[in-house]
Homo-oligomer: A and B are copies of this chain.
Amino acid sequence: MKINTKVRYGLRAMIEIAEKDNLTGILQKEIAEKQDIPLNYLDSIISGLRGAGLIINAGGKGSGYFIAKAPENISVYDIYRAFEADLTLVQCSCDANECLRSDYCPTKDYWFMLNKTIKDTMKATTLYQLLENKK
Which residues of A are interface residues toward B (Cβ below 8 A)? 1-3, 8, 11-12, 15, 36, 76, 84, 87-90, 100-101, 104-107, 109-111, 113-114, 117-118, 121-122, 125, 130-131, 133-134
A2 touches B89 (CB 8 A): yes
Which residue in B106, B117, B122 is a CB contact (below 8 Å) of A131?
A: B106
Which residues of the partner chain B approach A76 to less than 8 Å between Cβ atoms?
Answer: 110
A126 to chain B, nearest CB (A): 11
Q: What is the total number of copies of this protein in its complex?
A: 2
- Nearest-CB residue, chain B, relative to A12: B107
Measured in the bound complex, the distance between the Cα atoms of B4 and A89 in whole Å is 9
A90 touches B134 (CB 8 A): no
Which residues of the partner chain B approach A8 to less than 8 Å between Cβ atoms?
Answer: 90, 107, 111
5 additional contacts, CB 8 Å, given A1-B89, A36-B100?
Answer: A1-B2, A36-B101, A110-B133, A117-B117, A117-B121
